[in-house]
Structure 1
Amino acid sequence: MTMIKWFLLAALSAAIAVPFTRPVIAGEFADVLDTPALKSDLAVQSTLTGLTLAGERLVAVGQRGHILYSDDAGQHWQQAQVPVSSDLVAVHFPSPSQGWAVGHDGVVLHSSDAGQTWSRQLDGRQIGPIMLDYYQQQLAGQPDNADLQARVSDAQRMVEEGADKPFLDVWFESDQVGYIIGAFNLIFRTDDGGSHWTPLLERTDNPSALNLYALRPVGGDLFIVGEQGLVMKLDRASGRFNATPTAYNGSFFGITGKPGATLVFGLRGNVFRSIDSGASWTRIDLDLPLSITASSITADGRIVLVSQAGHVLVSVDDGASFQIQPHSALAPVAAAQVAVGGALVLAGTRGLRQLPLE
């Protein structure tokens, strides 16, 4: 598999390259999809790759199924009850109580109590059969459709390969309607809070099945970014995600912005900005040749970007320019979130930490 994100370290990459089992004792194996995450006092210092707000509560997710939450802006953390020990990548709460987390082994988790406890809604063992059933039904009505024939073939292959495809981002527009995306153009939608999922692979301008890394709205628009400069925007009338090219063909890792200003960011400090809902893009010069891996927005509207090394850049002009904030003790960052009160909370290879924003 190609690189998913820089911060998916060897421990996370191994979850893709090897079967989804983990040794418990010599001669005995346990499926991580059926093994609850272990409680550990060191979880707050482990690799964490996703971070969000559930109302005023911070929720972080990461390796071995670790999910933590904080009610004091990131000063103290508690570990949630999680039914799997798969590595988790992303988390989103559309409301203070209802949230979803996704990660390796095709896992999708749901919480209805603001992140304290979680249940499994979907995993990689179900993805292939769901896709196969859906596309076989579509093909039955259009037996000569070559694209649907290829979708059925791909679904059959996924059934045979098992639970080895990760989901890399999740976003819900309400407690009922949401999307999950991942490797090799995986994209599903739910209209009933995750009880059922519908594949949308045929509704993306992604013929090469590039990895999809991030899914986020800006204003009234919903964007997806991925490998090789892939940027797509949802056409709500047709339900398709249409490509909106930039001048960059490297990976984009994230999306941020405000109504009237959309930014996509990724490898080697590449940030592109659109002020016309993605119709055209302008490169923003950060003067920092490091990948941008995280973003957040302050209560007063400043846009914050964070580099893979932990540099914090802040814009006060809706993303037209950025200034690097002076601070020491840089450390790799995978996710960022401005907490209630204004502190910037960062998640990465060294766990969770809090920084003041000037």
Structure 2
Amino acid sequence: MCSYKKCILLALGATLALLQGFAQATGYVDVLDLPAQDSAMAQRSPLLDVTRAGQRLVAVGQRGHILYSDDAGKQWQQAAVPVSSDLTAVSFPSATHGWAVGNDGVVLNSIDAGATWSKQLDGRQIGALLVKHYGELASADPANEQWPLLVSEGQRLVEEGADKPLLGVWFANDKLGYVVGVFNLILRTEDGGQHWTPFEDRTDNPQGLHLEAIASTGDALYIAGEQGLLLKWDETSQHFTAVQTPYQGSFFGVIGKPGEVLAYGLRGHVFRSVDGGKNWSALNAGLPVSITAATLDANGNYRLFTQAGHMLVEHPGSTQLQLVAQPGQSPVAGAALAADGSLVLVGSRGARALRVE
């Protein structure tokens, strides 16, 4: 079973494949070279993530659509985007600087609060980056058997082309950030995306499991992955180390605040740790439906959302998540707290604002 985001991407990918097949007869242009088209329906088209950029909201989704709102999600404008690849995640460490990632290994950057975007990286370059980086390490350390394997991984990416999705992005500031994706694909930048360093040797992920999301709790940085994979950044070793959890199913995301982290995912599973991931307790969602998005509300409570559109609220001290009725329930892929205290949700039916008590 795939996550909601993966399922919708597969469906969209099939649609795009049909469109591309038609386009080949009339002059095919790769989606990485085709700017996103303006659409009056963009606000109601599938969107996969949303975040705050200062007071502004920025959402990303299918066919390179990026939307921004300055009135808490009531009205949206479409940004200028140089690609038509489906976009999966977005991160703004400041009010003006942001990054978005998606299919075909694409990494986009904005320096004007999401109004316009430029392409920094795509899947046609990532394989070569791996070959060069790990080839240099292999030359400097020929006795290390890890480097040739990672060179081979890079060569495989070169041969297969730009088809590997990036699923998560997180930036600490306007310079330092990470992008993560399928088959342990992870890169780090320290200069705002001008240069990227492969980090596959810096993860405890020997099986090459998919990396679904990356997020900070304020005092720790985590990566959520499939088959119970949860990684935590260790500053001393400069390594993403594996965190043992009581669940072997896929995690689709992490959320938290200093001293606390929640990992959520398949079939309604949610786990909380208050000691840096050493021990975990289960939170009862009461629903066997995958949880695909989460945010903190204006009161600092966790709001979690399912692929069917349910909203669950976590109250401090309780292990039972409360199911909250809402109007117009629809599948949710991303959630963010707007400047006015309302919640903005995105998913298969686009974006909508939701007032909460």
Q: Under TM normalisation by the shorter chain, which class is it?
A: over 0.9
| TM-score with structure 2 setting the length | 0.96
Aligned to 1:90: 89
User: How far did residue 245 of structure 1 move?
Assistant: 1.5
Contact 2:4 2:292 in 1 (8 A): no
Structure 1, residues 268-327: CA drift from partner, whole Å, max 9, x if none? 000010000111111111111111000111232111111111111112317744211112
Mark the CA change 1:350 to 1:19 in structure 2 (over 3 Å): closer, same or farther: closer
- The answer as to 2:12 corresponding to 1:12 is yes
Aligned to 1:67: 66
Contact 1:255 1:265 in 2 (8 A): yes
User: How far did residue 12 of structure 1 move?
Assistant: 3.2
Contact 1:104 1:164 in 2 (8 A): yes
Mark the CA change 1:3 to 1:301 in structure 2 (over 3 Å): closer, same or farther: closer
Matched residues in 1 for 2:140 and 2:164: separation? 29
Matched residues in 2 for 1:10 and 1:129: separation? 26
Aligned to 1:151: 150
Mark the CA change 1:197 to 1:121 in structure 2 (over 3 Å): closer, same or farther: same
Alignment of 1:23-38 (within 5 A): 23-24=22-23, 26-38=25-37
- Stretches of structure 2 that go unaligned for 5 or more consecutive residues are none
Matched residues in 1 for 2:252 and 2:108: separation? 22
Aligned to 2:325: 326
Contact 2:284 2:319 in 1 (8 A): no
Matched residues in 1 for 2:128 and 2:271: separation? 38
Matched residues in 2 for 1:128 and 1:3: separation? 26
SS in 2 for 1:131: helix
- Stretches of structure 1 that go unaligned for 5 or more consecutive residues are none
Contact 2:294 2:303 in 1 (8 A): yes
Mark the CA change 1:215 to 1:20 in structure 2 (over 3 Å): closer, same or farther: farther
Aligned to 1:317: 316
SS in 1 for 2:305: strand
Mark the CA change 1:296 to 1:129 in structure 2 (over 3 Å): closer, same or farther: same
Matched residues in 2 for 1:141 and 1:19: separation? 46
| TM-score with structure 1 setting the length | 0.95
Matched residues in 2 for 1:157 and 1:319: separation? 48
Which aligned segments of 4 or more residues in structure 1 are displaced greater than 4 angstroms?
1-4, 18-23
Coordinate RMSD, CA, aligned: 1.9
Which AA in structure 2 matches 1:45? R
Structure 1, residues 232-264: CA drift from partner, whole Å, max 9, x if none? 111011111111121111110011112122000
Which AA in structure 2 matches 1:202? D
Aligned to 1:347: 346
Aligned to 2:200: 201
